[in-house]
Structures are given as C-alpha cells and as structure tokens.
Structure 1
C-alpha cells in the first residue's frame, strides 16, 4: 500500500481488517455449514469489515449536505435576511451569486453521483483472479517453467524462474500478487483498500481511480469556496457558538481530508503516467530492484500508458464504464 494512502488508511485499520479476514477464512466454516452462533459471529465480523466503507459514505454524503445547506442555499435563495457579509446589495450581485450557486450545485451533485457509482462498482467488481486452468497450475514436481511462460511472462522470481504463489499453488501472471486479506492472488494488484472492502486490481482499478478523481474535484471545490460560509458565520452576530464550532470543524476536517485525497489522486495520475501499480512503486522501484528504474510495462508514451490503465477510448476515461475484456489481465506487453 502506498505511503500517500496511509494518510487515509491507517495501519491499525488495515491490521484489524486483516485479522478479521483471517478469522473468516481460517476459523469459521462456510455460511451454509455454520451454526447459529457462528452465523452471528460471521455477521459481526462482516459489519467490522464494512465499517470503513460506512465511514467513507457518511463523510461523502455528509459533506455534500453541509455544503448545500450552509453555503449553496444562501447563494441561490438570496433572501432579504441574508447576512450582510455576502454583500448582496444589488440585483446584479444577487443574480451573480445565484448563478454561482447553481454552477457549484451542479458540479458537486455530478461529482457525488460519480463518486458513489464508482465506489459501488469498485467495491463489487472482482479485481481479477488467476484462472483455474491447467496452464496456471504448479506441477507436482514444483517446476513452474514452460515454454509459453518464457515467451510471454516478463517478471521472474529471485531464482530466475516463473513466479508462483505458495498459498494459491498457482503460477503468477505478470503484476499479479497475493492478498492476505482476500486470501487469493489478484491480477495487476494495486493494493487492498479497506474503504471499498476489496482489492484494487485489473478489472476495478479504473472505478477506484475515477472515485478518487471526482472526490478530489469535489473536495477541492469545497475548500476553494466554503471559506465564504466560514467568514459569514464568524462575522454574523446572530450565529450561535454551536454553529460557529460546527462550521470551523467541518471546514478544517474536510480540508485536511482534501489535502490527502488530492495528493493521493496526483500520486495515482503519476503512476498511470509511468505505468506503475502501487505495489510496483513501493516494493520495486523505491527499493531499486533491477529493471524497475522504469516500468518494464511502459508503453512508450503517456497516452499509451493512460490507455493501458483506463481503456482505449479517451472519451470514457473518467466515467465508471467497463472497458476491460474478460480474457485480459494475464499478459502485458
């Protein structure tokens, strides 16, 4: 997991979720075979796994409600009792403020819709797994080499042989990694994200990136405009102490979150530009692993790398629309 996302996803949360996943995978039977007590235990554990997801959704929807009710409403309504600090002393000023309010409302509503849609698709889309076919099985003699692997797979183990997973007992395609929380290998694994309760991999990376991208726009707009509400509340003699405290805390916390989210978005744009995953950047490039001073999967151009990550059609790069073929994710040029 990248250092930037650690601002959003603490080690303690990851450790707790990892322990819960291990408990589900190793210590509890399947749902159909579980007793009543075990089913209750499973439900409680899944509630803990979903807790970061619920926190994220609460922050996203709560921030939108705060922005609309405390800021957009007064720009659009332009009532006579609007606080003087807004300086709506003429019809022209009120008209400009109303236009601004509608523009901000449309942007924030559009971003909220795409964030929620992208989040759900990233959460419920399988990131991709190694097929259960003979081609990817590790032979009983332990020799995972084959002529086809030598031709098409670029990554090698420390001994120079085709990579294999000791847990899944399968050969690993390029860029695939084992996730202890999911208890399986995922194709082009980027990292495990507790905020979507899923791994980010080949088939759902685009949804994850679109979610972060529009989240950055939404929070950036909040930070750039909501300060007016802060000034209004602090200078209005009719504002209560509770309201002042609430507005200050809201703006401060969302601004801190915004710095992290925007930085995380920039980090992923840089990764796409250079055709890295978070695992490849953290575990290989930063440790100066041979062959990773530049990604061995680099397409040669920035446009090619963006196509590799977000699809062939630039018109839908920033929309949560599927662009991956079912047979993809095993081999990379």
Structure 2
C-alpha cells in the first residue's frame, strides 16, 4: 500500500475497476429496469469491484487463524501433540511461554477487532461530496469566482480563479478532487482505495488510517514472532512436506504484505504530520509545484495537524469514532 499501493492500483486494479464502473454507469440500465441477463452481468461486475475487499479480508482473517492455530495454541496448551522442539526445559520456561502466548493472543485479537470495525466504517462511510446548494453552482457566464471564494478558498486554477469541475459542473472546495471511478468529486480526497471499494476522503480518512494502523500491528507482530513456528515445524520430524511448504509460504507472503502495510502506515503518519493528502503529495509536492514545498493547509505544528486528521481528543485517535461535523470539508484554515 502507500506509494506502492498507488502505483500498483493505478496500473492494474484501478483501471480494471474504473472500466467496470463505467460499464455500470454508462452501458447498463438500473437494476429494476434490467433483464435477467443484465442482472447477472451487473452482479458479476459488482463482485469484481468487491474482489479486492474479499482478498484483503481473507488474508487478514486467514493469517489470524494460522497464527492462533499453529503458533499460539502450542504456547498456551498443555496437549501431548506439542512438537518435541517445543518441550520446555523447566516449568518456568513453559509458564513464560504461556504468558507470552496470552499477551500475543490479546494483542492480535484486539487489533483484528478494530481492523474489521475500521474497515467496515471506511468502506461504508461517504467520503464527502460537494453540496447541491446554489453556492457551489458554476454561473452560466463561466466565472466561478465570488467574494466569498476569494476570502476562504486557497487553491486556484491556472488563471487564478477558484477551481471548478468540468464533470460535475460545480465549483470545487479546497482539496477536493474528481474521482473517475466514483464519477464524482470527493471532499479532501486522499485517493481511491480498491481495498475498501471506496474513496478515502474527509469523512472516512480517520477510519482508513485506523484500519491501516491496526493492520500494521497485526502483520508486524506476525512477522516478529511467527518465525519461531516456522523454525519449529521445519525441525519437527513429524511435520509433513505439505505443512512445511504451507507455513513457509504463509510467512513469506504475509511478511511481504506486512512490510508494505507498515511502510504505508508510516507514510500516512508523515502526511498527517505535514497536513498533506496522498494526491497533494504525489501530484504537487513531489513534482515541485510552486507553493507546495510546504502544505498551505499546515496548521502550525504536528499536534494541530494530527488533530485536523484524527480529531481533538488524542486518546480517541486510534479508535474509529466520528468527530466530523456534517458541514465540514468545504473550507480549511
């Protein structure tokens, strides 16, 4: 994920999903007006859109099950089927292993719970869109500028006017961008994420970040501890070739995913610290667009910037709770 997710998605998954959603919006009738064959076609297209979500949840939940059944169980249980290499030299070693297993189980279960809650909220929360009010309509003369815009909007078009969207035919608030896959403008759009089948924007960015954070904890602890299970199974004479291959492949694949997700998490922490979105970083700061060597929306320090992204209560930053007001996302300090 992160820049890796951006480049991968834009080349493969994003293009595929964009084509699928174009078929749904332009070439197929609404569900109630569809024939049986068209409904089958629509169902298949929606399944393909949801496929990355299914893959992500399968990997995370499957990894948790593998971790508990092949590693935690043998640390905690007193069964006779424990591999010989797991036999402890003393009761103290065995008790320490049991305590360690319980701690790991609590951390993984806690992280999985909040990961799933955050994923669901990020997926089903509207990222925010431009209101249909007259204030955001583009006048018929094409001049979208007003005194209110001059006072409160910082971003400008190349001609120096407040921005407008040629697709939505509306004036664009600061940090708003048009998503080709969603076929609409999203407030404070960060990027379109196929892993949640939704855009990441003003109203669901916190849920998305909390999801990434707990995903990093899940995968990071897996990488840091499951290697012991790999060593045990490879040295156990009772382990089958199939089991050895399964464990090695699982650890290798989840480790690669974990490295990417943890890097993505640190990337978003850096972005929040500097009050950037992914689009602003990729399209403006990285390309040295004038005025973006520092975010124009920087609120004067990392703490204030974190409050902008995650809320005013630091003790609630890592919980998927809502703190946005319904009329937010249109103007920024």
What TM-score, normalized by structure 2, do the two folds share?
A: 0.97
Please give the alpha-carbon distance, in whole angstroms, between the structure 2 residues aligned to 1:160 and 1:279: 20
Looking at structure 2, the residues matched to 208 and 57 of structure 1 have their Cα atoms a distance apart, in angstroms, of: 14
- In the TM superposition, what are the counterparts of 1:57-136 in structure 2 within 5 Å? 57-136=57-136
Question: How far off is 1:172 after superposition?
Answer: 0.1
1:229–1:2 CA distance, 2 compared to 1 (3 A): closer
Partner of 2:269: 269
Q: Distance in 2 between matches of 1:300 and 1:60?
A: 37
Moved more, 278-287 or 30-39: 30-39
Q: Give 1:192-271 correspondences, 5 Å limit.
A: 192-271=192-271
RMSD: 1.3
Deviations 1:193-228 (Å, cap 9, x if unpaired)?
000000000000000000000000110000000000
Using the TM superposition, give the Cα deviation of residue 241 of structure 1 relative to its aligned residue in structure 2, in angstroms: 0.2
Offset of residue 41 of structure 1: 1.5
| SS of 1:104 mapped into structure 2 | helix
Shift of residue 3 of structure 1? Answer: 2.0
TM-superposed CA distance for 1:315, in Å, is 1.0
Question: Compared with structure 1, are the counterparts of its residues 10 and 61 closer, same or farther at alpha carbon in structure 2 (3 Å cutoff)?
Answer: farther
Q: Could you tell me how far apart the structure 2 residues matched to 1:137 and 1:27 are? A: 28
**CA pair 245-7 structure 1, distance change in 2 beyond 3 A:** farther
- Give the match's secondary structure for 1:291: coil
Aligned residues: 333
1:39 is displaced (CA, Å) by 1.9
Matched-pair contact (CA < 8 Å) for 1:7–1:260: no
Q: What is aligned with 2:327?
A: 327
Q: Which residue of 2 aligns with 1:25?
A: 25
Say which SS state the counterpart of residue 185 (structure 1) adopts: strand
Q: Which runs of 5+ in 2 are unaligned?
A: none
Confirm or deny: 8 A CA contact 2:137 2:169 kept in the other structure. yes
Q: Which residue of 1 aligns with 2:148?
A: 148
Rounded Cα–Cα distance in structure 2 between residues aligned with 1:113 and 1:257 = 19
Separation (CA, whole Å) in 1 of partners of 2:10 and 2:228: 32
Tell me, what secondary structure is at the counterpart of 1:237?
coil
C-alpha distance in structure 2 between counterparts of 1:13 and 1:305, whole Å = 31
Q: Does 1:304 align with 2:304?
A: yes
Q: Which residue of 2 aligns with 1:183?
A: 183
Deviation at 1:43, TM superposition (A): 1.1
Q: Distance in 2 between matches of 1:327 and 1:44?
A: 36
The SS at the match of 1:37 is helix
Q: Could you tell me how far 1:32 is from its partner in structure 2?
A: 2.4
Aligned partner of 2:12 in structure 1 is 12
Is the CA contact (8 Å cut-off) linking 1:8 and 1:260 kept in structure 2?
no
SS of equivalent to 2:178: strand
Quote the Cα distance in structure 2 between the aligned partners of 1:35 and 1:234.
Answer: 56
1:78 Cα offset (Å): 3.4
Matched position secondary structure for 1:112: helix
Partner residue in 2 for 1:158: 158
Stretch of structure 1 that moved more, 22-31 or 83-92: 83-92
Q: Which stretch has the larger CA shift, 274-283 or 26-35?
A: 26-35
CA distance in 2, matches of 1:132, 1:201: 18
Distance 1:201 1:327 in 2: 14
- Give 5+ residue unaligned stretches, structure 1: none
Structure 2 partner of 1:38: 38
